Structure 1
């Protein structure tokens, strides 16, 4: 069996966000949830629980995003102004 890219789902305090997804994307999320649940020995993983970890993994893998975020952090970092 192929190992899925998404690992265990963290149980973190959520921030509510409402999104509309195309039906095909929802079906794929539901299928991914079924496969991940089977792989991890859980009974079920709801599609909504997959969205945040998938987005986080996508952003972690985006080199351009990481580079721009690091650049922005350097620009807004601690000020060298002694006042």
Structure 2
């Protein structure tokens, strides 16, 4: 599991944002989004198995929103 996936699943907001900023220097945004997708699937599984609860889902949504704020403009740039 990549550091990014692990930090998203562990809901470590500050670490997630640091990793995203660092990875954006060298990677395409869609490659990063692939890890984000894996992490969100894992969070869904944790919720389904009652290991994560509604507050955890809300926190993961907030982290995801911040990820999109960082990556969104880069995705638009790469499409132009």
Normalized against structure 1, the TM-score is what? 0.31
Q: Identify the structure with bigger relative contact order (alpha carbons < 8 Å, sequence gap 6+).
A: 2
TM-score, normalised with respect to structure 2: 0.32
Structure ID, larger Rg:
1
